[in-house]
């Protein structure tokens, strides 16, 4: 499915993903992780689209096969702004944050150095992907000329359909 890149739709997207995960057989104990990880991926994609291509929809695929429930969130926000890496922090495997992302040097606070009179970045660079990396059972992030694709999956338990 795809949706217009508006923040108000992110809640719906994560609720739908959680419902599909439940019906596909993902264990109840993992559903909170699915909900949060999908929300993070969609939030990141919405922010990217709003900055680069607000008319383009965000795409999300939900599939259950081969014992895995897989979610793929794909944006179409090709970036030519020279931004470094995916995380704005130390990178580890698969473009995911390296260890110790959460506490960079300095004042110990992640995100951009925000002056008291400047607006906060709503989504501190890389923090969302750091959360995804900590939640999803398996994560692969790939950048294409068209944009970024976040593929996350969790094990399926007993099919409940």
User: Where do contacts with another protein occur on this chain (CB under 8 A)?
Assistant: 7-8, 10-11, 32, 35-36, 39-40, 43, 46-47, 100-103, 107-111, 114, 116, 120-124, 127-128, 130-131, 134-135
How far is residue 95's CA from residue 26's CA, in Å, rounded to a whole number? 26
What is the distance, to the nearest Å, from the Cα of residue 97 to the centroid of all Cα atoms in its chain?
13
Residue closer to another protein (CB basis): 10 or 141: 10
Q: How far is the CB of 112 from another protein (least distance, A)?
A: 10
Q: How far is the CB of 161 from another protein (least distance, A)?
A: 26
Q: How far is the CB of 95 from another protein (least distance, A)?
A: 17
Residue closer to another protein (CB basis): 39 or 64: 39
> How far apart, in Å, are the Cα atoms of 19 and each of 34, 45, 57?
10, 21, 21
Nearest CA to 7 out of 40, 35, 34 is that of 40
Q: How far is the CB of 123 from another protein (least distance, A)?
A: 5
> How far apart, in Å, are the Cα atoms of 131 and each of 1, 22, 80?
23, 21, 25
What is the enclosing helix (H) or strand (E) of 140?
strand 138-144
Q: Is 18 helix (H, G, I), strand (E, B) or coil?
A: helix
Residue closer to another protein (CB basis): 109 or 146: 109
Residue closer to another protein (CB basis): 76 or 131: 131
Residue closer to another protein (CB basis): 42 or 76: 42
Q: How far is the CB of 77 from another protein (least distance, A)?
A: 15
What is the enclosing helix (H) or strand (E) of 89?
none
For residue 133, the 8-state DSSP code is H
């Amino acid at each position: 499915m795809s949706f217009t890149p508006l923040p108000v739709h992110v809640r719906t997207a994560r609720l739908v993903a959680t419902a599909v995960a439940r019906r596909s057989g993902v264990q109840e104990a993992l559903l909170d992780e699915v909900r949060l990880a999908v929300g993070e991926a969609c939030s990141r994609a919405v922010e990217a689209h709003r900055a680069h291509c607000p008319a383009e929809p965000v795409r999300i695929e939900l599939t259950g096969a081969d014992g895995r429930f897989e979610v793929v969130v794909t944006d179409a926000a090709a970036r030519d702004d020279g931004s470094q890496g995916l995380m704005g922090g130390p990178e580890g495997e698969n473009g995911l944050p390296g260890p110790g992302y959460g506490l960079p040097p300095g004042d110990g606070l992640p995100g951009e150095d925000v002056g008291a009179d400047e607006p906060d970045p709503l989504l501190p660079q890389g923090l969302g992907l750091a959360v995804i990396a900590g939640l999803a059972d398996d994560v692969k992030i790939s950048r294409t000329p068209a944009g970024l694709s976040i593929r996350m999956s969790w094990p399926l338990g007993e099919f409940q359909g």
